[in-house]
Amino acid sequence: MSLETQINQDIKAAMIAKDTATLRGLRAIKAAILLAKTEKGHTEELNQEAEIKVLQKLVKQRRESAEIYKNQNREDLYQIEVEEEKVIEAYLPKQMSKEEVESVIKAIIAETGASSIKEMGKVMGAANQKLAGQADGKTISEVVKSLLA
């Protein structure tokens, strides 16, 4: 079942349950998927990789907004962003821990033969491909920097 079909079913269930927090998050996902489908150069259906990228982008937006609201002491808006983030994260694959990411990146460094921070780009490219959807770019970058430094 495609993500879009799953989201539509979950929207109906959230409407029946009158769960406004879940409904907000699901509607954000649906809107983002529709935007992605109508962008230039896209086919009719999104593949799983594209769906994951859309969801990761939404989660990142929610985290950044929540941080801004927290810094501005807007607890009401902060809570909304956190609730939506949790709903969106439920549709993403399980994220790897920092230790798991570190072990994968150590293997990539051994494969590529990288030994200095100058070769970070080569390692990052391979790591982003291998860990797509399982770890965010910020975590991957931090681990690569610490291992190559």
Shared domain for 72 and 117, answered yes or no, is no
Shared domain for 15 and 46, answered yes or no, is yes
Shared domain for 85 and 132, answered yes or no, is no
Shared domain for 26 and 59, answered yes or no, is yes
Cα 75 from Cα 82, distance rounded (Å)? 10
Structural domain including 66 reads 3-90
Among 73, 90, 107, identify where a domain stops: 90
Shared domain for 140 and 78, answered yes or no, is no
- What are 7-49's pLDDT values in tens digits? 999 999 999 999 999 999 999 999 998 888 888 666 667 788 7
Cα 58 from Cα 27, distance rounded (Å)? 12
- What are 85-130's pLDDT values in tens digits? 999 989 888 888 888 888 888 888 888 887 778 888 888 888 888 8
At 77, list the tokens.
Answer: 């808006």
CA distances from 118 to 2, 30, 113, 115, 127 (A): 41, 41, 12, 8, 16
